[in-house]
Chain A
Amino acid sequence: MQKEVMFAGFGGQGILLSAKLLAYAAMKQGLEVAWVPSYGPEMRGGTAYCTVVISDIRIGSPIIKNPTYLVAMNRPSLEKFAPNVKPGGIVVINSSLIPVRSERDDISELLVPANEEAINLGTVRCANIIVLSAFAAKSGMVDTDILRQCVKDNFASKKKVIPLNMKAFDRGMEIAED
């Protein structure tokens, strides 16, 4: 069974890192995985997006036009990519920055006020981790315990930021479960 997620937002929002952590977790679970970034000519503040494909068999085409899931961190990303999500899919919306919705009735939406939640925890920089864990909990795409460990491992060289990111991770899980 193959599943795909697209993470999209502004450059600097931690899109590539969130997607990478998800890919790590999937690999640790023994799944096949491909992490495919957009690398077009982008300018600072422009859009960035990245796709993660996971599968229990070898992945054929790593280029996905219609992902199962979308995580939109800003409005242009939602408007551009929500129409591509497969029916029955999930769209996670960073409601701190996105005042609109996908306007589709064949997918489910999860609203995560990621920037506000992150600021409450101490810094906006952990917004991507909140969204990542909320997405993982809602979609079940990867095991959240393994993912939590991957987030921890990722910051192994910057130990002082681990507690913050763990709090962010747990907050994202709570939002998804509410």
Chain B
Amino acid sequence: MAKILMKGNEAIGEAAIRAGCLNYFAYPITPQTEVAEYMAKRMPEVNGVFVQGESEVAVGYMIFGAAACGERVMTTSSSPGVSLMSEAISYIAGARCPAVFVNIMRGGPGLGGILPSQGDYFQSTKGGGHGDYRLLVMAPDGVQEIVEMVMMAFPLAEKYRNPVMIVGDGLIGQMMEPVEFPDNLTVKPSNKDAWATNGMDTRGSKEKNIVKSLYLDPEELNNHNLTLKAQYERMKKEEIRFEAYNTDGDYKVLIVSYGTMSRVCKTAIDNMKAKGIETGMIRPKTLFPYPLQAVHDAAAKQSCKAVISIEMSMGQMVEDVERAVLGQKPVSWYGQCGGNVPSPEEVEEQVMALINK
């Protein structure tokens, strides 16, 4: 198919439809409202459903309901809205239902601002809701990649019977870039008959499927938690995705960065390379499971004397970078908040300061 020019937010909607998602529930919030606008127009064309909920709390449970029935379902929101959905996300994870959430992050905490941010790293990767659950979290760096990740998210959610979270930032949502949608995509049928409450007659079964997250018996709940844990461990084996950028040379500094921020870092790395300074980068594409080994190995390189996590937050991913580097090399953080995206020159300054230390 030919390339088309699309806003990130519109591309998210189109990608979901092409991945077989015919259920979309959402509540408007800047900077992702265009997804809802797009879906309001597109869903009726494909006999799909779009409902604007009365709040993000309601939307969270609309997602739970549709997911429990085995429907492919997605919502999109931005940071404060995702906080409101977090209770439902915990329930959905506890009930082992597949669903796709997209967070086009804006500055926080609280209402914060409406400009790009990566301040929801902890919320996405370490919890958000209560209880022992994890989300499979992916972080695209542009419009084409968000399309690919949305399309991957549905089969992954079904494979693990777990919610998948895609975190972009306001810039990725608002920006237009050329995108290509794959031709003749075959949508894998869902494995829903094994678990969904889609009706015994519908699936021709005599077994009841029960969707729940309540386990009052301690042993039963412990076993349920072990089942969930086994799924998260399997994600760590099978789903880690990352990009290594300029890591062949003898770099003195290793950058770890993701999303929009990683693109700024690439420009800085290219500019420094033109001046004869090598800098490597690991760009996690999955934030959970985290590419611990890749960061560890890149930091272990003899020439590397320092590692820096560059993020549009006050230092969240840096904790995972430290966990990966395990003290082999000093790890530091650089970032800005409030909707400011550090410039390539500012990144370069940070790297040069580490080299000259």
Contact = CB atoms under 8 A, between A and B. Distances in A.
A23 B270 CA distance: 24
Interface in A12-67: 20, 23-24, 27, 32-37, 39-41, 59-63, 65
B221 interface: no
B174 A37 contact: yes
- Between B177, B263, B343, the greatest number of chain A beta carbons within 10 A of the residue's beta carbon is seen for B177
Contact of B178 (A27, A39, A63): A27
B314 interface: no
Nearest to A24: B5
Contacts of B350: none
10 contacts: A27-B178, A33-B178, A35-B5, A37-B175, A41-B114, A60-B266, A62-B171, A62-B260, A62-B263, A63-B343
Contact of A61 (B3, B178, B263): B263
Interface residues of B, number: 23
Interface string B306-348: 0000000000000000000000000000000001010110000
Contacts of B263: 59-62
A61 B266 contact: yes
B30 interface: yes
A33 B5 CA distance: 9
B300 interface: no
Chain A contact patch, size range: 10 to 19
A61 B174 contact: no
Contacts of A63: 171, 264, 341, 343
Given A60-B263, A60-B267, A63-B341, A34 B177 contact: yes
A122 B30 CA distance: 37
Nearest to B4: A27
A59 B267 CA distance: 8
Given A36-B175, A39-B31, A39-B174, 19 more contacts: A20-B176, A24-B5, A27-B5, A33-B177, A34-B175, A34-B176, A35-B5, A36-B171, A36-B174, A36-B176, A39-B30, A39-B114, A39-B115, A40-B339, A41-B114, A60-B264, A60-B344, A62-B175, A62-B260
B70 interface: no
A97 B340 CA distance: 31
A35 B341 contact: no
Interface in A68-112: none
A41 B5 CA distance: 25
Contacts of B13: none
A23 B3 CA distance: 12
A40 B171 contact: no
A20 B178 CA distance: 12
Given A20-B5, A40-B115, A61 B267 contact: yes
Nearest to A30: B3
A59 B142 CA distance: 10
Interface centre among B178, B267, B344 (most CB of A within 10 A): B178
Nearest to B262: A60
Given A61-B267, A61-B343, A23 B176 contact: yes
Nearest to B339: A40
Given A20-B5, A63-B171, A35 B266 contact: no
